[in-house]
């Protein structure tokens, strides 16, 4: 199989980001599969696992998804017993979404798997370069 980077596109940011994203998606999927999770569901659990109760709309904003997509995502984690909707005691018009005990336990295991997968994925880079990459990506994402 030809080297995907051995072509004139290999110095283009978009091309490189796309190929790195594809490799990371595959590595992440392998790491999370034994837990019955994918990266998107882990992101939902991570956002809902914050100490501050969030409405679906607030969670959607943090995830960068539209409200309709967020309803489907919450429905999916709720159906699996990982989260539950609750009426906000301060505002009865508002529902918040909370992880269940099972959801919190799964989040801890999944975060361990994610961190291990990230370390393995970045292992080809010297530690200083890996940290610089993460710092640069955080800056570009902000």
Tell me the pLDDT tens digit for each residue of 27-64: 999 999 999 999 999 999 999 998 888 999 999 999 99
Calpha distance 121→88 (Å, rounded): 41
* pLDDT computed for residue 52 by the predictor: 85
Q: Which fold has domain 13-141?
A: Arc Repressor Mutant, subunit A (1.10.10)
Residues of the chain below pLDDT 50: none
What's the confidence (pLDDT) of residue 140? 93
Question: pTM of this prediction?
Answer: 0.84
């Amino acid at each position: 199989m030809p080297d995907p980077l051995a072509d004139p596109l290999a110095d283009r940011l978009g091309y490189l980001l796309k190929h790195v994203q594809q490799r990371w998606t595959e590595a992440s999927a392998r790491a999370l599969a034994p837990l019955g999770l994918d990266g998107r569901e882990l992101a939902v659990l991570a956002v809902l696992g914050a100490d501050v109760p969030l409405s679906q709309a607030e969670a959607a904003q943090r995830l960068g998804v539209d409200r309709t997509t967020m309803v489907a995502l919450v429905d999916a984690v709720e159906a699996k017993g990982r989260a539950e909707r609750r009426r906000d005691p301060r505002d009865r018009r508002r529902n918040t979404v909370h992880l269940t005990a099972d959801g919190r336990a799964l989040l801890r295991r999944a975060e361990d798997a994610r961190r291990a997968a990230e370390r393995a994925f970045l292992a080809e880079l010297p530690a200083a370069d890996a940290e610089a990459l993460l710092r640069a990506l955080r800056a570009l994402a902000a």
